[in-house]
Structure 1
Amino acid sequence: MKKIFDKFKFKKIWIPTVAIVAILFLVIGAITGFIRGYDIGYEAVNIEIDNAIVPYNELVNNTKELEKEYNDRKEELDEAIELSDKKSELDAQIIKKNKELDLLNKDIAEATSKLSELQGKITEKDEKPIELPAGQFIVGSDIPEGRYKVTPNGSGGNFFVDDSNGKLVVSQSIREDGEYSVSEYVIFLEDGYSIEAASPFNYIPIK
């Protein structure tokens, strides 16, 4: 009876012990598996982080290089912008000056035209023209001193004038038509001048 009781007692103690040991093994296995899985996951995460850090660092370095290049060239960029603004101002000034120059050239052209008209315009005096035939005449005796427009009284011909010292002043062919002639001639006749006319001429007093 005692053997049976001892055997029963042994079973009563052994079974729970085995169960506890089994549970311990399971717990230890679970912990070991968790730790192993954690290590594997941690290693994988580290690999991913390392793989991400490399391009991140490259991006940071590239950004720093771009910032440095921008700072280095910012002064050049500012100068270029300033020059561009100045160029725009200069272009506007050039356009303005060109317009002013065009107006000035127009005024000069008008003034030149008026001056030419004034220079070319001969105002006749309100006096009767003097008609002299062909021949030789003395200014101051045959015709008063003054400014005259000489025109042919007829077909015209050669017209000569000498000063008081006998020096030739005018030698001109005055005709209505002719290749080497003029239709009229303006001259200031001083006292003492001598006139030699090959044909009759009109001496029209002018201002």
Structure 2
Amino acid sequence: MKKYLKIAAIIIGAFILIFIGAGIGSSGAKATVHEKKMDITALDKEFSKVKKELSSMKKDRDEAMAIIDKKESVEKELADTKAKLKDIKGTLDQELAEGRKEIDTKLAEANEGLSDAKAQLKDTQAKLASATGQLQKAEGAPKKLGSGQYVVGKDIPAGRYVAHALGRGSNFFLFDGGSGGSAKVNTILGSAGGIGSGDYTFFCEDGDIIETHESVQLTPVK
């Protein structure tokens, strides 16, 4: 407020100097300004000083107006930037929501597939266990051999067996499958006529040869 009052006083003083200068120029007399008597030279100096101050104040005003304009421009640019950021955030939020929805859907499908795979694995394991049990049962079941020769590892698995005559009994042999071909077992099964030894327990290995002169039953034992 004081600055504006000063400006007004300077402007009024300038006009006074102009009128005074005009009067002095016509009469050559001295004038009184701010209670001081001044001739034309002093008045010119005072007038130049006032013009200089007015020019400086105009410059300050122009700079202030430029700052105000720039401030308004910056505020507008800031508002535009905020609006763009809001739009971008809205777009990102939407894309993120859609991405999460897609991920949740795929995760649900994967979990469902995993559950199906677990069920299939459980069923397969059950079938495998059943098949293994059946195989073990089949391997552990008694094996019937008619009279003849049999190769261990081909006709019957290697292992420990109890040989039992299915008829009256006869000779039963087990030959070493090696180059020697020596007899590992040479016995008579059954007890007919009091000459048989009844059942006979033996071990046989892959390559050994079983020879029986009558039907026998081989039961696997541990």
- Could you state the TM-score of these two structures normalised by the residue count of structure 1? 0.45
